[in-house]
Amino acid sequence: MQKLLIEGGHLLNGKVRISGAKNSAVALLPASILADTKVIIEGLPDISDVETLSYLLEEIGGEVERKGQTVHIDPAHMTAMPLPNGRVKKLRASYYFMGAMLGRFKEAVIGLPGGCYLGPRPIDQHIKGFEALGATVTNEQGAIYLRAKELKGARIYLDVVSVGATINIMLAAVKAKGRTVIENAAREPEIIDVATLLTSMGARIKGAGTDVIRIDGVEQLTGCMHTIIPDRIEAGTYTIMAAAQGEKVLIDNVIPQHLEPLLAKLREMGVHIEEGEEQLLLHRGNGLKSVDIKTLVHPGFPTDLQQPFTALLTKAEGTGVVTDTIYQARFKHIDELKRMNAQIKVEGSSAIVQGPTPLEGAKVKASDLRAGASLIVAGLMANGVTEITGLEHIDRGYANLTEKLDELGARVWREEMSEKEIQQFQNS
Ligand SMILES: CC(=O)N[C@H]1[C@@H](OP(=O)(O)OP(=O)(O)OC[C@H]2O[C@@H](n3ccc(=O)[nH]c3=O)[C@H](O)[C@@H]2O)O[C@H](CO)[C@@H](O)[C@@H]1O
Ligand SMILES: C=C(OP(=O)(O)O)C(=O)O
């Protein structure tokens, strides 16, 4: 088991290239189950979620061949093998095996998903969608059993705007008989990316990226080639790092429009940002002013950037209020930031950040993926060395993190933890 060490205070300079989007990749891999022939996906990020999903595809009989950032998946010999536990619990997106396997085999047995614990993360809307399409869904000892004689298109109104439910229903509906309409659908760029792959496979989908998606079922889907969009959350994290500790930083391979809510808030804080077609350039300014942020469904401020943004606010002059309306308890990073001298108070679904407070290096624990990102932002700014444990969370979503930070001039390295440290970590 490793820990991440950061010697803070060094200015970041240079270029960082953003990897393919985690939240696309984790849906595109299971989507390959629906094809009859080989699916080729390019631009895969080097993260543990991708590795785990690749193993799951192999567990059900897929032939998965990875060459750098490209993966070839031959789904021809896949079967409806139950996946009740094991790797399924390591990540959130294993829930996409429900929609994809139901779509192809009309049956699936999948354990309840894991992923970041951000407070309760129900999947009732996914189940509502599968049932509307004609499936019987039962929860037996922590595994979801899905069975259908036939899947038939239906009109499904999501009571909650959900990324996972929107994609899962698309996966289950592309081979159903007739038309499915998803109303109050989520509108994230990753949903468009999944719809693009499915369309290249032969699916008929209209409206992805709006809140009404229409899907006309087809009998057969075939293999294709697809390139993943850049990761807007990874890009946003490096943009926040550049705002916190950058002198001149170029963020390469981004779609700036995907980051508008973040860029607007950073500009309000006084950060200088130049937008290119696929790049962002940040220059060091004259101090930062505090702002308030409220996370909302897309295209609002993304909840996945709330935690790293909170760390940045410790450097800004004044009081900033951070409210998370998507995951009201997504504040596990706050106690760790406080260990580093941050002045933050949590009240209900808001964190009130008083700045500027010079941060001090400390031993801290990443409780989830973006809590980890928040601690990295803090560590880059802090005096002295910060030691971060819980890297298994960070490795789920940040490809080649130490290499990318090293290229920007940060002093960041990994070390093996001693037996005693592992014990302390497991007991904390
Ligand atoms: C793998 C992936 O893409 N993960 C992202 C996805 O997670 P995920 O797909 O799990 O998140 P959802 O969009 O489904 O969740 C949004 C909100 O709806 C609620 N909800 C969701 C489904 C449901 O059936 N019932 C219900 O009540 C959730 O508790 C949450 O409050 O979107 C989140 C919100 O942008 C991001 O933080 C995650 O990074
Ligand atoms: C919450 C996240 O991921 P997941 O849904 O995969 O747990 C995230 O990417 O911030």
Predicted pLDDT of residue 346: 97
Q: Residue 122 annotated as binding? A: yes
Q: Residue 232 annotated as binding? A: no
User: What ligand 1 atom has the least distance to the C-alpha of 126?
Assistant: 24
- pLDDT band at residue 117 under the 50/70/90 scheme: confident
Q: How far is the CA of 92 from the centre of ligand 2 (A)?
A: 7
Residue nearest to atom 22 of ligand 1 (CA): 123
Q: How far is the CA of 285 from the centre of ligand 2 (A)?
A: 32
Q: For residue 142, is pLDDT > 90?
A: no
Q: Are 2-19+230-427 and 22-227 in the same CATH fold?
A: yes
Residue nearest to atom 31 of ligand 1 (CA): 326
User: What ligand 2 atom has the least distance to the C-alpha of 118?
Assistant: 1
Supply 204's token pair: 């008929």
- pLDDT band at residue 9 under the 50/70/90 scheme: very high
User: What ligand 1 atom has the least distance to the C-alpha of 119?
Assistant: 29
Residue 226's CB is within 10 A of a number of other CB atoms, namely: 22
Q: Is 158 in the pocket of ligand 1 (CB under 6 A)?
A: no
Query: What are the residue boundaries of the structural domains of the chain, listed by start?
Result: 2-19+230-427, 22-227
**Residue 252 and residue 230 in contact, taking contact as beta carbons nearer than 8 Å:** no
Nearest Cα to 292, choosing from 236, 352, 371, 207?
352
Using most ligand atoms within 8 A of CB, pick from 306, 368, 395, 398 the residue to mutate for ligand 2.
368
Q: For residue 120, is pLDDT > 90?
A: no
Nearest listed ligand to the Cα of residue 49: 2
Residue with token string 């998370």: 324
Given CATH 3.90.420.10, say whether it is the number of domain 2-19+230-427: no
Our CA angle for 45, 48, 52, nearest 5°, is 110
Predicted pLDDT of residue 291: 98
Residue with token string 């022939």: 37
- pLDDT band at residue 166 under the 50/70/90 scheme: very high
Backbone angles phi, psi at 185, to 5 degrees: -75, 155
What mean pLDDT comes out for the span 216-236? 98
- pLDDT band at residue 286 under the 50/70/90 scheme: confident
Looking at the domain that runs over 22-227, which CATH code has it been given?
3.65.10.10
The predicted-structure confidence for 66-109, as pLDDT tens digits, reads as follows 999 999 999 999 999 999 888 998 899 999 999 999 999 999 99
Predicted pLDDT of residue 273: 97
CA dihedral 386, 391, 397, 400 (to 10 degrees): 70
Ramachandran region, residue 239 (left: φ > 0; alpha: ψ -120 to 50; beta: rest)? alpha
- Cis geometry, peptide bond prior to residue 299 (ω within 30 degrees of 0): yes
Global confidence as pTM: 0.98
**Residue 61 and residue 81 in contact, taking contact as beta carbons nearer than 8 Å:** yes
Q: What percent of the chain has pLDDT over 70?
A: 100
d(Cα 95, Cα 143) in Å, to the nearest integer?
11
Strands across the sheet containing 411-416 = 363-365, 385-389, 2-7, 411-416
Q: For residue 115, is pLDDT > 90?
A: no
Q: Residue 23 annotated as binding? A: yes
Q: Residue 363 annotated as binding? A: no
Q: Residue 47 annotated as binding? A: no
- pLDDT band at residue 2 under the 50/70/90 scheme: very high
Nearest listed ligand to the Cα of residue 332: 2
Residue nearest to atom 8 of ligand 2 (CA): 304
Predicted pLDDT of residue 284: 85
Annotated active-site positions, please? 116
Strands across the sheet containing 143-147 = 107-111, 143-147, 136-140
Predicted pLDDT of residue 141: 87
User: What ligand 2 atom has the least distance to the C-alpha of 93?
Assistant: 6
Q: How far is the CA of 75 from the centre of ligand 1 (A)?
A: 27
Q: Is 326 in the pocket of ligand 1 (CB under 6 A)?
A: yes
For residue 366, the 8-state DSSP code is -
| Average pLDDT score over the chain | 97
Nearest listed ligand to the Cα of residue 116: 2
**Residue 333 and residue 307 in contact, taking contact as beta carbons nearer than 8 Å:** yes
For residue 119, the 8-state DSSP code is S
- pLDDT band at residue 171 under the 50/70/90 scheme: very high
Q: Is 98 in the pocket of ligand 1 (CB under 6 A)?
A: no
Predicted pLDDT of residue 427: 84
Supply 57's token pair: 């595809």
d(Cα 394, Cα 44) in Å, to the nearest integer?
17
